Each structure stands twice: as structure tokens, then as C-alpha cells.
Amino acid sequence: MKRHRWTLIVCLWLGGSFSGWTQTANPPVQFGNALFPMPPEIAANVEFWRKIYADYPTNTVLIHDTQDMSIIYEVIELKGLGDSQVASSAAYRNEWRKLEGVRDEYRSILNRLAARQLDLTKLSSREKRVVEIFGAEADAGRLLRAAGSIRAQQGLKDRFHLGLQRSGLYRDFIEGIFSQQDLPIELIMLPHVESSFNYQAYSKVGAAGIWQFMRSTGRLFMTINYDVDERLDPLRATEAAAKLLKLNYRELQSWPLAITAYNHGLNGMRRAKSQYGDDFGRIYREYSSRSFGFASRNFYAEFLAALHVATHYDNYFGNVEFHQPVEFVEIETDHYLTVNSILETYKIDREEFRQLNPALRPPVLNSQRRIPKGYTLRLPKLPDAEGSALLARIDSRLKYEEQVQSDWYRVKRGDNLGAIAKEHEVPVKVLAEYNNLGQNERINSGQILKIPPKSTDMLASVTPPLAATLPEVATPPAASVSAPPLLVTNPTLGAASDVATSDAEIEPVARIEREAIVTLDIEPASKPALVTSGANVVGGSGEEQATAVPAPAPRRLEPLTEWIHVEADETLGHYATWLEIPTRRLRELNGLRYNQDIQINQRIRLSYERVSAEEFQRRRYEYQRSVEEDFFSTYAVDTLRTYQIKRGQNIWQICNDIYQIPIWLVAKYNPERDLSKLNPGDTLSIPIVLPINPVTTPLQQ
């Protein structure tokens, strides 16, 4: 058992000096130091983000130029939202539609000025602003580039203030971890950029927690599966972030590059360094890559701005009341347990338990699944509490040796809840509640449903679900990988592999790129044993000779290999994890080069050497389901928009560069369309999503 207290570092937060940072009454706006320099190429960017964090609240939006961040066309107030704690999605939708009109107007003005079609004698206020910025005789090429570089950015001052308050919960722990890893203390400010220290933060592209890990990178350092997502645990995620930042710096030997790699990916920054060395200013100015877009190019500038504002917080926010850390005990579970049994045994409030154990996913919190055996459970500090004594309080009848394995069903065309419930011999009400659905709610072809166990005693009392209703299918996290940076854990085998994966196998990729290939580096099965045959060998001496022939393979109930079609956001890394075989084995089976991409709807041959086809499919369904559960607990589809494909575009660019939505979501709304084969002029139905609570998940475009 371990006792912990997350305490505040008073010397830094309450006005003292620390690591060379000095609080002054009116500090000059200075950025950078020897470790974290500010190249002149990004000076305007840093100042822009300082304004976003310290000057403009979330009910304001800045219309600005992405190439020259000093150009701000207009600051617009989002009407009718005010300081409401629960602003409606409809209000946000209406305001952002107006903003789209404003952006389109500025784009039109720039295009007309470039074509010399603007009447300079009768200028509107916005036309005057454009002429004021660029001049009436501005270069047409520059104006056209500006027309394609207009962006809207929401202010974040109140969110940053909340982030400062929330940081009091974690500051002591984060500082301790970074100190142990011998990392610069300034790096602990990164969560201000990523999430405003909101451990429940979940982005539209699937990054989660205060450090905003994507599943692909998170799986290298943390457990992420249907039961547990350690990205949402500030402590475990901080340990992972420290390892990732240390790995990035070890490879790049530059903090501007290492910090940018946290967003863009290590491979990408390696390529940038190979071309331009450590000159981040030149990399910002000249490096070109499909995924080195606005977010990656600005990430280091955002960090410098956040570091400045957080260090001098009192000059921008006055006195900040930091949240106080909580005390808790940790115990390692020796059986599978339900949350309900924990709450009943220790008389704990469900919300308090959830906040102490944020890595437990809704199916576990709902007691549809059990807390995994070996999980480090947190409980409030109790009198005379010791680990073994705490565990002994739980009734032995409420301790289990196995996890509840869900059965899954993929909805076919023409299905309804009643027919599915009848087929699986469960009441339709139970089926609906188990999937957070209304009994009369429409289900969609391709949607994945959980089939509840027929015997309720398997769960030792199931409570109503906590998760939000899902509009359709699901796309959950991969099988867990929990270990040090270069060691991959096999959760099924219950131990870490003795063989460390190579750096190439675990390199993080861009946050918005495809999932990284994560391999379980397991040695291939041994060759079949040899038996002897008494037959004479043709051309031999005439004496009986031993002939080596393979021993008969054990009979299998499933095929040794099978062909499947790749679905959205699946990679060889996922298949290797679910099959418990190395990715190189799958590459060999399919004739794929190392790091060769696989495409949606591509046929891939699988090998069931270690798990059955049924187990593979169960893991695949859990992945698909949990991704959707996570997404729809934060976002809702508001409307559908028809988008016409332009020359040179692919589904990755449309989802990530234009709409910032996951590919699987677009696939759900275009079931008849092969997303790997898009031609100019084709149309797609694009779901426009809004946060369920815009105040806690502010819109940023």
C-alpha cells in the first residue's frame, strides 16, 4: 500500500522565484532562455498565443492570418453565451455559422483586391481593414495566399485560469516525476497547452487526458484497453509524458525539436533535423510535410507563451486559488472486483471513486465489467487502512478469478432491438439499457452492440450506465501495452516480453496521423518436431533410413489464416496486438514493406497462431466500441454537410486538415463509399460535430 498527497509547490506558484523564474510586479514580455530559445521567425506566433491565453476569453474569436500571426483581421464576440456554465450547442452552432460568414467575407475581399476589383472609393469597414493591413497595391500573390490562410481562433483566458487552478492537484507529482527523469522543470507547463490540466479532455481526433496522448503513442507507455485508459489518469499519463519527452530529446538533442515532436511525431522531426539541423526557425520557415500543419508548426510557440503566462500568472489573473491536492491510498487488486462491491464495502461515494480512479472506463464504472486483477486501485485515506486489511474487508463471494467477457453483435440491415434481443434470449429492455439506448431508438447497420450476460450474478449487481447515449457504432482502444519505453507488455500472457522492441518499432507518429505500428516482439513458434519413417529412400543404400517429416499438426477449430478487410483507423499494429504476433509476421504474410501503409478496405491476411478467430474479433469489437464510447461521451453529431472531393485530396486530408474529425466517423455516414478510392467530383456526407458541453470542451478552429 502507498500513501500519497498531491501538494502545491508554494515557492513557484505563490510568488517566489524558482529555477530562474522571477515574479515581478510588471514583468517584460520576454520569452525563451538557453534551453528554450525563441527564434525571431516565431516571435509573432508566441505573442499571438500569449494574447489567446492571457487577454481574450472563450466568448471571443480572433480572425487571423496563419502565415503572419501578427495580422488579426477582427476580434468577434460570441453573443448570447456570456459566462454561462452550460452554454447550449445550438448557441455555439449559430455563432460559429456567423463566423464562417465573416471568414468567407474576408476571403472574398482579399480575392477581389488581388484581382483589382475592389472599389477603393466605397470601402466597407472590413474592406478598409484589409487595405489598411496590405495596402491598395499589395502583391496579388501575397493576397491570394492570405485568402487561403484565414483562420478563426477562440480565446482561452478563462480556460487558462481554470487550468492554473486545476494544476494545484497535480503540480507536486508532475514536478517529482520530471525531476526523477532529469528533465527541465519548464516542461511541466505543457498541459496548459494540451488540455488546461483537464484530465477528462478528449479531442475530436481522439487525444485524451492532460497530456493529450493519442492511442497510438499512449500504447507504448500505458495500459489502454476496453477496461482501462491510463491516458485519463494524470499520474500515469505524466510518467508516460516524461518518458516520451526524454526519448524525443535523446534522439533530437534540441528542446524546440523535442517539444514539437511531442505533437508532430519523432520521425517527422528526425526528417526535419536531417534537412535543417537544430535551427528551429529555419524548420518553421522551410520544412514541408503533409502533417506539419498549423498545429505542429505552432506547438513550440504555444509552449513558450504558456510558460510565460503561467510563470507570471499573477500579472494576468491576480490572485489564483489553486485546487488543493487530495490524499489517497493505493492497493493492488488480487482478484477481479466490481465497482459496486468497492462502493458498498468502503461506503465510498461513486463520484469520489471515479475522480480517484479516472483511468477506469465506463463499462467498469457501471459494473458491466470488473476492475482488472492487478490494477492499482485508489481509495480515500481511511483510518487504520493497510493494503491487505483493506482487501480483506471485501466479501470473498464478491472476488472473481476472471473478467466478464462481453459478447458482441454487429447490426445488419433490417435489424431492430427486439429481433436481436429475441435471438440472444435477453429482454429488449436489458439489451437497450446495456447499450445506453432507448427501447424504441433507431439502430444502424454496422453498429456494434454489447450482448448482456444471461445470468445477472456474473456482475454481482449491475447499476444503470453512466456513459452517454451513442448514436451509432463504436471504435475502441487497442489491447493494452504497459511497460517502460522500449519494453512491450502482453496483457494476455501476463508478463513483459523478454525481448525489447527496436526504436523503429515504437517511434511515435504525428498525433493526427494513422495509429503507430506497435509490435509484440514474440519469437515465432518453434519448428514442428520431426518423426521417422521406415520407408526406403530412392537412391539410397538399400538400408532403412530415417526420413524427416513434420508431425501432424493439432486439429484446430478455426482456420490457421483468414482474410479480412481493413476498417477505418485500423493498422497492422492493432492486428499484431490482438493476434499476439509481431507486425513483421503480418508483413511477411501480406508481402508488405516495413512501414508500408495499409488502406481502408484493403484485404489483409491474418494468422491465428496464438489466439482464435473469435478472440481476435472480440478484441477488434472492443477497440471499435470504446473509441465511439469515448467520442460520443464528449461530442454529438449536429448536422451533415455534403462535401465534394477536389483534385489531389484523400480521406486523411479531408478528415484531419479540413474538418478535424476521425475517419471512422466519416465511414459510418458513408457506408457505401470506398474511402480509399475517392475521385474528384465525388461527394461525401460529412458529420459536423459539436461538444456536448461547449464550456468544458471549448471550440477551437
Model pTM greater than 0.85? no
| Grid cell for residue 141 | 500573390
Q: What angle do CA 428, 433, 434 make, to 5 degrees?
A: 95
Distance CA 37, CA 31 (A): 8
pLDDT attached to residue 75: 96
Q: What angle do CA 292, 295, 297 make, to 5 degrees?
A: 55
User: What SS3 class is residue 561?
Assistant: strand
Cβ-count burial 70-103 (b if 16+ within 10 Å, e if not): ebbbbebebeebeeeeebebebbeebbeebeebb
Order the strands of the 2-5 sheet from edge to edge.
Answer: 2-5, 327-332, 376-380
pLDDT attached to residue 216: 85
| Grid cell for residue 7 | 501538494
pLDDT attached to residue 516: 31
pLDDT attached to residue 412: 86
Q: Which CATH number fits domain 634-691: 3.20.20.70, 1.10.150.120, 3.40.50.300, 3.10.350.10?
A: 3.10.350.10
Average pLDDT value over all residues in the chain? 80
pLDDT tens per residue, range 331-343? 899 999 999 999 9
Nearest to 656, CA basis, from 203, 286, 248: 203
Distance CA 396, CA 418 (A): 37
pLDDT attached to residue 279: 95
Distance CA 136, CA 114 (A): 9
In whole angstroms, how far apart are CA 597 and each of 20, 230, 571, 594? Answer: 46, 27, 8, 9
Give, for 603, the enclosing helix (H) or strand (E): strand 603-607
Q: What DSSP assignment string belongs to 11-78?
A: HHHTT--BTTB---SS-------SSS---GGGHHHHHHHHHHHHT--TTEEEEEESSSTT-EEEEEE-
The answer regarding whether domain 407-458 maps to CATH 3.30.1130.10 reads no
| Grid cell for residue 278 | 537544430
Nearest to 76, CA basis, from 160, 155, 129: 155
Q: For the chain, give every residue range classified as CATH 3.10.350.10.
A: 407-458, 634-691
Q: What are phi and psi of 341, to 5 degrees?
A: -70, -35
Distance CA 597, CA 194 (A): 28
pLDDT attached to residue 539: 32
Nearest to 166, CA basis, from 12, 358, 325, 4: 325
pLDDT attached to residue 434: 85
User: What SS3 class is residue 564?
Assistant: strand
Low-confidence ranges of the chain (pLDDT < 50): 1-28, 82-86, 456-551, 556, 558-559, 700-701
pLDDT attached to residue 695: 62
pLDDT tens per residue, range 126-165? 999 999 999 988 999 999 999 999 999 999 999 999 999 9
| Grid cell for residue 646 | 477536389
Alpha-helical regions (H) of 570-691: 572-579, 583-590, 613-632, 651-653, 663-668
Q: What angle do CA 245, 246, 248 make, to 5 degrees?
A: 65
pLDDT attached to residue 552: 52
Beta bridge partners of 332: 376
Q: What angle do CA 62, 511, 160 make, to 5 degrees?
A: 40
